[in-house]
Structure 1
Amino acid sequence: MAASAEGFQDPPAEVLAAAAAASWLLASPARLHIMWVLAQGESDVSHLAARVGGALPAVSQHLSRLRRAGLVRSRRDGRRQVYYVDDREIVTVIHVMFGQLAARSAETLLHPGSRLAYATG
């Protein structure tokens, strides 16, 4: 394992592969929105579909992928399936990512020539 100039060790190949897989899953705006909602608290598929503005089958499909990847869990509550994120570190990553992007978006509105304007436009 090689060290960078800052002294940090490069992550093992398995960790890089897991991070790439999670990043690919979160590259979907719908799945990111679902993760954001679940980072706020648990929800069933009907509420998630209404909140993210997606069709029930599509939201179910997204949840299935997120669950298989271990990003989301579910439990039975009577007749409904309730989804949640039980890993506080994943919740922290979601909050930090959205917080940083919101701050950059605000900066872009104030300064249209910024880096984010070019990256997203």
Structure 2
Amino acid sequence: MSDMCDVFCYDDEKVSALKEELGSYDIQSMTKIFKALADDTRAKIALMLCRTDELCVCDVANVIGTTIPNASHHLRLLRNLGLAKYRKEGKLVFYSLDDEHVKQLMLMALEHSKEQKAFA
């Protein structure tokens, strides 16, 4: 059984409408989000931030078992992409997810991975 069409034909109306719609999206910004979250360390950090209001950089480093500079680097990248935000309190820096969309994206991905594992 082949996973390709045996003939070349397409629905011109549907294809034209989808091409027009795709042209209106900022695909590069969207793929940057997925690239950032495709890194195991940043995915762990984002999941941790889903589970709590905020975490200090030291807490993040401790949970993922890395250095503070390494955790800070990953958190900064998430912040620069608009996925996380921070606030400074004295000498401590606390990070949280930037908005509910990021949290929902991570929780949906986690749920999907659990379902896939159950079917494997």
Q: Same fold (TM over 0.5)?
A: yes
Distance 1:36 1:70 in 2: 16
1:49 equivalenced with 2:61 (yes/no): yes
Kindly indicate whether residue 91 of structure 2 is the aligned counterpart of residue 84 of structure 1: no
- The two structures have a TM-score, normalised by structure 1, of 0.77
| Kept in 1: contact 2:50–2:97 (CA 8 A) | yes
CA contact (8 A) 2:82 2:98 kept: no
CA distance in structure 2 between the partners assigned to 1:106 and 1:70 by the alignment:
33
Paired position in structure 2 for 1:111: none
**Alpha carbon RMSD of aligned pairs, Å?**
1.7
- Answer yes or no: is 1:31 the counterpart of 2:45: no
One-letter amino acid of the counterpart of residue 45, structure 1: V
Could you list the runs of 5+ residues in structure 1 that have no partner in the other structure? 109-121
In structure 2, distance between residues paired with 1:56 and 1:47: 9
* Partner of residue 3 from structure 1, selected from 17, 26, 50: 17
One-letter amino acid matched to 1:34 = I
- Percent identical among aligned pairs is 24
Letter in 1 for 2:17: A
Q: AA paired with 2:61?
A: A
Counterpart residue number, 1:72: 84
Structure of greater Rg = 2
Q: Which of 16, 19, 26 is residue 27 of structure 2 equivalent to?
A: 16
User: 1:92 Cα shift?
Assistant: 0.5
Deviation, 1:10, is 2.6
- Say how many residue pairs are matched: 103
Contact 2:84 2:96 (C-alpha < 8 Å) held by counterparts: yes
1:60 aligns with 2:33: no
* Structure 2 gap ranges (5+): 1-15
- Given the two structures, how large is their TM-score scaled by the length of structure 2? 0.78
